[in-house]
Structure 1
Amino acid sequence: MTDKITNWTKSDDTRVEDAIRRGATRRDLLKMMLASGVALSAGGAVFGRAEQAVAATPVSGGHMKAAGISSSNADTLDPAKASLGTDYSRCCSLYNRLTFIDVTGVPQMELAEKLETKDAKTWTVTLRKGVTFHDGKTLTSADVVFALKRHLDPAVGSKVAKIAAQMTEIKAIDPNTVEIVLKAANADLPYILALHHFMIVQDGTTDFSKGIGTGAFVLETFQPGVRSIVKKNTNYWKPNLPHLDSFEFFAIPDATARVNALLAGDIQFCSSVDPRAAKLVDGQKDFRLSRSTVGSYTNLNIRLDMNKPDFVTGMKHLIDREQIVAAALRGFGDVGNDQPISKANVFHNKDLKPKAFDPDKAKHYFQKAGVLGQSIPVVASEAADFSIDMAMIIQASGADIGLKLDIQRVPSDGYWDKYWLKAPIHFGNINPRPTPDIYFSLLYSSDAPWNESQFKSPKFDSMMLEARGMLDDAKRHEIYNEMQTMISEEAGTIIPAYTTNADGVSAKVKGLEVNPLGGMMGYAMAEYVWLEA
C-alpha cells in the first residue's frame, strides 16, 4: 500500500471540505477519496487538512451568549462614559473607532482611511467613504468632530477627558477630512484614537439609549445592569462581517455560577474564569480556556491623602508577591513591581525589581506610622478579580507582625461607583492599555481621572509631557524607565502581579484571538467570532 495520493488536486481538497460542511460522514468521504484514487494510508492527511480548513472558515449565523463579571445600573452605551469591560463589549459591537489595535499591538485604520502627520502635532484624518450609521445617515467629518469634541465638554463627564484635552483644535476641512491639532507633539495619537472611549457617534447625539453607531450590530435590547442583545447589521461597511446573527451579553458576578453556565451550555463564553475552576473547563472536550497576559492587573490602592507614607512603604514590603501568584492567582500571572507597564509592553522597565517580602522591614515602617494595634479597613470585592484572595494573604502576613487588617468584603454590584477611588484602602482592576502614556495619563498624572492613590508629582507630569512628543524611542524608553521607578517608589498603588486572563469558551466558538486591549479580543469579539455549525 502506498502513501502517494494519485491524481489528487487542491480542487479535490475543496470538494472534501464542502462535503464536511454538508454533513458527510467519514465513511462517505472515504468512498469519495477511494473513487479518486486516494490510498487508505493517505486518507488521514486529507481528512486532517479538510477538517482544519473547515474549522478555520467562518460560518454565518447563530445567536451567541456571553457572560461578564459585573454590571450595574450605571451601565452605559455612551462610549465617552464607558469604564468597564461590560460597557466596552457593548460599545465595540455598536460603534467603530477611527483606528483599532490589531493582535500584534499595531494601530490599523478603521473609520479613518488615512491618518497623516509631518510633525506629530497636526494630524489629518481622511475618512473612509460609504460608511453609514444604523439609521441610514452617511458618516461625515461632522460626526467625527462632534464625537471627539464631546470629550472636551466637562458636562459630558468623559472618562478620557484628560487624554482628549491635548486636542486643542478639531475641525472639518471638508465632508471627508478632519484636522486635529494637539497642544504638543504626540506620536501616540493613532493608539489613543483606538481606545474604546473614542468610538465615533453621530453628530448631535444626546440620547445613547438606542446605541446608533456604524458598528457591526444594531441594538435590539438594552437593560442597564441586566443584559443587552444586538442583532447583525446587514448594511455593515466591512465585507462579510459580522458572522453572528445576534449577540447577547450580561453579567454573572459569581465566578462558579459563570463557569457552570458555560458547562451547562447556557452560554458560549464566560469571562475571567477563576483559576480554581480552570481545570473544570480545560478538562472538558467541548470547552477550552483562552489565555492572555497582556497587562491586566489587580492592585491594592492606598490613598496618599488618607494614609501615612510610612504605612504605604510598610505595605509594599508586606506583600508576598510569589505567594499571591501561586495561591491567589493559582499560577495565572507574573510577579509585578508596583508599576503598570507589564512585560508585554516594549517600554517595560526590566531593571526595576519587585520589593522583596520582608515582614521585619514592614513592621519597622508600621511602627513609625503608629498603626500597629489599630484595626485598618481594607475594601475588597469579587468585582476586582482575585482581590479577596489577595486580601486574605496580606491580612495573614500582617497578623504575624501585629498589623490588624479588617477585610471588608462588599458586593460586586456598585463596587466601582461606591468604593473604587473613594475608600482609603481598596482594590482596583485595570485593563490593558497600548502605550505607557495612556496608563500615566489615566492613572498617575496629577489630574488623572482615575488617580487611584492620589499620587501627585510635578516632576512626573513634566516628564510625561516631554516623552509624549518624542520620536527617539531610546530616549523615550529612558524617561519611561524613570517614571516607572517613581510610581513604584512613591505612588500608593501596589501591583503585586500582572494577571493572566483566562476566559472560558465553548468549542463551537471559532476565530477568537488574543488582543493587547484585553480579553474578548479587546472586547470586540462579537464582530469577529463565529459559531461552528
Structure 2
Amino acid sequence: MSHDTVTNWTGRDDAMVEHAIRRGATRRDLLRLLMASGIGLAAGGTIIGRATRAFAETPKSGGSITAAGWSASTADTLDPAKGSLSTDYVRACAFYNRLTFLEEGGDVRMELADKLETQDAKTWTLTLRPDVTFHDGKTLTTDDVIYSLQRHKDPAVGSKVNAMAKQMESFKKVDDKVMEIVLSAPNADLPIILALHHFMIIADGTTDFSTANGTGAFKCEVFEPGVRSVGVKNENYWKDQLPYLDSFEFIAISDEPARINALLSGDIALAAAINPRSMRRLDGVDGVSLSQTTSGNYTDLNVRLDMDPGDKAGFVEGMKYLINREVIKRSILRDLAVVANDQPISPNDKYYNKELPAKEYDPDKAKSLFEKAGVLGQTIPIITSDAPNSAVDMATVVQQAGQEIGMPFDVQRVPSDGYWSNYWLKAPIHFGNINPRPTPDILFSLLYASDAPWNESHYKSEKFDKMLVEARGSLDEAKRKAIYDEMQVMVSEEAGTIIPVWISNVDALSSKLKGMRANPLGGMMGYAFAEYVWLDD
C-alpha cells in the first residue's frame, strides 16, 4: 500500500473510527476493522490514537438526567423477553446487553458476541467476549446465553419474540466462551435478529425480575412499574469510557403538551416522540434541540383484498393514485417525513429498492379506475382513529380528494380505546401504524406472507412466499438484494396496503444533552440513549 493510499484512507475514515469508539468499540475491535481494510498494525494504531483524542475532546463524564417517554404501565417489566413499551426497552438497553448491536444505517456490530460465524446460514458458531461480568460479579458464559435464548421458546415465559425464537432449533455448548446455534432453516439475518431488544442476555437461572442483574452500562437502583426507573453507573462496565452519565431517571408522561412543558421548565432533559403539530411550540426556543430519526415507522391505509370494495379490480390502484403524498408530508407532518412507495422497506435500509417510484397524485386516473371497479359515486366507509399516528388527518386528505372527483368517502372516527382489537385487520378500509423492524424478512413475514399474523390487506401470493424463504436462507448479498427488490415491487403493485410516507420520529432535548444519534430500531437512539449521551455545560 502506498503512502498516498494510507493518507487518503486515514483522512476519510478518522470520523468512522471515532464513531465506532462512541458506540463502545474496544481497541481490539478497531484494530480488526482497520486490518480488514488493509491497514497495517502501526498505521492502525496511529489512526486509533488520533480518533481517540478527537473523541475525548467532546464527551464529558458526570451528571444525571431525567428523561420522559410516552408510555408506561403497571405491567412494566425488567424481563427483556416480555418488554412491550418504550419504558421497557429503555430499561433493557441500560441494564443489559445484547449479543449484537445495530448501528446507524443498519450495520451489525458485535456486542457481547466477539464473533458470530456460519458457512450455511443454518449452523452458527458464537464466541463470547472475554472478561464480561454481570452486576453481581458473575462472569458471562455460554450457559447464560443458552438460558437467555432458550427461555424465549417456552410458552410459559410469554416472550414477545417466541415465534422468532422458535427457529433456533438447538444450542450446543462447546466451552464457557464458544457455542453453536442451529436453526430449523437457514436465516442469514440471525445477527440482526439477536440485536432486537428482547434478546438481551440475562444470567443463567434468573426468574426474579424485581430488579435487573445484567451486564449493561447501568445498575438498577429503583424500579417502580408505571412510575419511574433509576439507573446508576456501572463502574465495572466492560466498554471503555462508557457510560458518561453518573445516573439517569426514566419516567413516562403520556400527555404530550405536559411532556413538552416538563422539558421547557427544565424538569426533564429529554422529551421523546414529539408530534409534528406540537413543533411550533419548540421553534426557536433557546436551550432546546431536536433529534430526528426516519427509521421506517409508518401509518398506512389498508384495503382488504378479500372484502368489498377491495376485491373489485381497479379499486386499490385507484386509491393509491388518490393519495396526495406531498400534502401528507408537508401539511400534516410538517416535512418530518419521507415520501413512500407503498411497501414497508425504508430508504435507510440497504435493501431498499431505489428504482421503485412512489405513485404520483393523479385524481383523473383514480377516477377512471373507480369507474372500472364500478364504485364511482358510491359512499364508501373509511375507519380512522387517533390510535394510528396522524390517521385522522390522512383520512381527511383522502376524503377531500374523493369529493373533487365524485367519489364520496364516509370517514368514521372511532375511539382509540379498542381500536387495535376491534377495527385494525378487520374493517374493509382502515388505518394501521407499523413501528420500525430491522430486516425485510421480519417485515414481510409479519405483514405480507400468506400466513402473516398481521396481514393487513390479506395479501396472498405463492410466488412471494417462496421468494421470502429463498432470500432468508441466502448468504449471497447481491442475490438477496435482487429478490427483495422484486418483492417490494410486488407489494407496491399487488397488496392493498397504501404507505404514503415514512414518518420521522422526533425527540426534543435540552441543548446540553449531547451524543444522540439515529438508530434503525427507533427514537431515543433505538432506546439506548442512556449509555451514550453526556451533559455539556
TM-score of the superposition, structure 1-length normalised? 0.81
Other-structure match for 1:38? none
Whether contact under 8 Å (2:218, 2:232) holds in the other structure is yes
Helix, strand or coil at the partner of 2:388: coil
Aligned to 2:516, which of 512, 516, 520?
512
Helix, strand or coil at the partner of 1:317: helix
Distance (Å, rounded) in 1 between the aligned partners of 2:428 and 2:445 = 22
Report matched runs for 1:55-134 at 5 Å: 56-62=58-64, 64-134=65-135
Question: 1:414–1:78: structure 2 CA closer, same or farther, 3 Å change rule?
Answer: farther
Whether contact under 8 Å (1:352, 1:485) holds in the other structure is yes
Other-structure match for 2:45? none
Question: 1:409–1:95: structure 2 CA closer, same or farther, 3 Å change rule?
Answer: farther
Other-structure match for 1:294? 295
Give how far 1:74 is off. Answer: 4.8
Other-structure match for 1:491? 495
Whether contact under 8 Å (1:163, 1:441) holds in the other structure is no
Give how far 1:417 is off. Answer: 6.3
Question: 1:155–1:486: structure 2 CA closer, same or farther, 3 Å change rule?
Answer: farther
Other-structure match for 2:411? 406
Give how far 1:299 is off. Answer: 2.1
Give how far 1:61 is off. Answer: 2.6
Identity of aligned residues (%): 58
Matched, 1:181 2:185: no
Aligned to 1:331, which of 326, 332, 335?
335
Question: 1:298–1:112: structure 2 CA closer, same or farther, 3 Å change rule?
Answer: same
Other-structure match for 1:349? 353
Distance (Å, rounded) in 2 between the aligned partners of 1:527 and 1:287 = 21
Give how far 1:416 is off. Answer: 5.5
Report matched runs for 1:304-315 at 5 Å: 304=305, 308-310=310-312, 311-315=315-319
Distance (Å, rounded) in 2 between the aligned partners of 1:74 and 1:446 = 33
Q: Describe the superposition over 1:444-466 as per-residue Cα deviations: whole angstroms up to 9, x where unpaired.
A: 22343443434333322210111
Give how far 1:420 is off. Answer: 4.9
One-letter amino acid of the counterpart of residue 410, structure 1:
P
Helix, strand or coil at the partner of 1:129: coil
Matched, 1:467 2:499: no
Helix, strand or coil at the partner of 2:211: coil
Other-structure match for 2:285? 284
Give how far 1:53 is off. Answer: 8.3
Distance (Å, rounded) in 2 between the aligned partners of 1:512 and 1:393 = 34
Other-structure match for 2:250? 249
Ranges in structure 2 where 5+ consecutive residues have no aligned partner: 1-53
One-letter amino acid of the counterpart of residue 58, structure 1:
K
Distance (Å, rounded) in 2 between the aligned partners of 1:76 and 1:454 = 33
Whether contact under 8 Å (2:392, 2:413) holds in the other structure is no
Distance (Å, rounded) in 2 between the aligned partners of 1:201 and 1:81 = 13
Distance (Å, rounded) in 2 between the aligned partners of 1:161 and 1:358 = 44
Question: 1:136–1:457: structure 2 CA closer, same or farther, 3 Å change rule?
Answer: farther
Q: Describe the superposition over 1:117-147 as per-residue Cα deviations: whole angstroms up to 9, x where unpaired.
A: 2333211111123323334433221221122
Question: 1:123–1:266: structure 2 CA closer, same or farther, 3 Å change rule?
Answer: same
Whether contact under 8 Å (1:56, 1:510) holds in the other structure is no
Other-structure match for 2:13? none
Helix, strand or coil at the partner of 1:230: strand
Other-structure match for 1:320? 324
Question: 1:361–1:387: structure 2 CA closer, same or farther, 3 Å change rule?
Answer: same
Report matched runs for 1:158-307 at 5 Å: 158-304=159-305
Distance (Å, rounded) in 2 between the aligned partners of 1:415 and 1:77 = 28
TM-score of the superposition, structure 2-length normalised? 0.80
Give how far 1:327 is off. Answer: 0.9
Helix, strand or coil at the partner of 1:174: coil
Distance (Å, rounded) in 2 between the aligned partners of 1:83 and 1:283 = 35
Question: 1:379–1:96: structure 2 CA closer, same or farther, 3 Å change rule?
Answer: same
Whether contact under 8 Å (1:335, 1:354) holds in the other structure is yes
Matched, 1:376 2:381: yes
Which of 458-467 and 196-205 deviates more?
196-205
Helix, strand or coil at the partner of 2:282: helix
Distance (Å, rounded) in 1 between the aligned partners of 2:478 and 2:197 = 29
Matched, 1:393 2:397: yes
Distance (Å, rounded) in 2 between the aligned partners of 1:209 and 1:455 = 43
One-letter amino acid of the counterpart of residue 269, structure 2:
Q
Whether contact under 8 Å (1:398, 1:404) holds in the other structure is yes
Distance (Å, rounded) in 1 between the aligned partners of 2:487 and 2:249 = 41
Other-structure match for 2:139? 138
Give how far 1:226 is off. Answer: 4.1
Which of 398-407 and 109-118 deviates more?
398-407
One-letter amino acid of the counterpart of residue 119, structure 2:
K
One-letter amino acid of the counterpart of residue 117, structure 1:
T
Distance (Å, rounded) in 1 between the aligned partners of 2:237 and 2:140 = 12
Give how far 1:478 is off. Answer: 1.6
Which of 290-299 and 217-226 deviates more?
217-226
Matched, 1:437 2:441: yes
Question: 1:65–1:299: structure 2 CA closer, same or farther, 3 Å change rule?
Answer: farther
Whether contact under 8 Å (1:97, 1:198) holds in the other structure is yes
Give how far 1:523 is off. Answer: 1.2
Helix, strand or coil at the partner of 1:330: coil
Whether contact under 8 Å (2:296, 2:502) holds in the other structure is yes
Distance (Å, rounded) in 1 between the aligned partners of 2:504 and 2:369 = 32
Distance (Å, rounded) in 2 between the aligned partners of 1:424 and 1:130 = 56
Whether contact under 8 Å (2:76, 2:88) holds in the other structure is yes
Helix, strand or coil at the partner of 1:158: coil
One-letter amino acid of the counterpart of residue 433, structure 1:
R
Distance (Å, rounded) in 2 between the aligned partners of 1:242 and 1:97 = 16
Whether contact under 8 Å (1:162, 1:442) holds in the other structure is no
Question: 1:456–1:196: structure 2 CA closer, same or farther, 3 Å change rule?
Answer: farther
Cα RMSD (Å) = 2.9
Distance (Å, rounded) in 2 between the aligned partners of 1:309 and 1:226 = 47
Give how far 1:179 is off. Answer: 0.5
Q: Describe the superposition over 1:147-171 as per-residue Cα deviations: whole angstroms up to 9, x where unpaired.
A: 2223333444433333333322222
Give how far 1:283 is off. Answer: 0.8
Which of 71-80 and 209-218 deviates more?
71-80
One-letter amino acid of the counterpart of residue 522, structure 1:
G
Give how far 1:394 is off. Answer: 2.2
Aligned to 1:482, which of 458, 481, 486?
486
One-letter amino acid of the counterpart of residue 180, structure 2:
E
Distance (Å, rounded) in 2 between the aligned partners of 1:430 and 1:503 = 18
Distance (Å, rounded) in 2 between the aligned partners of 1:134 and 1:416 = 39
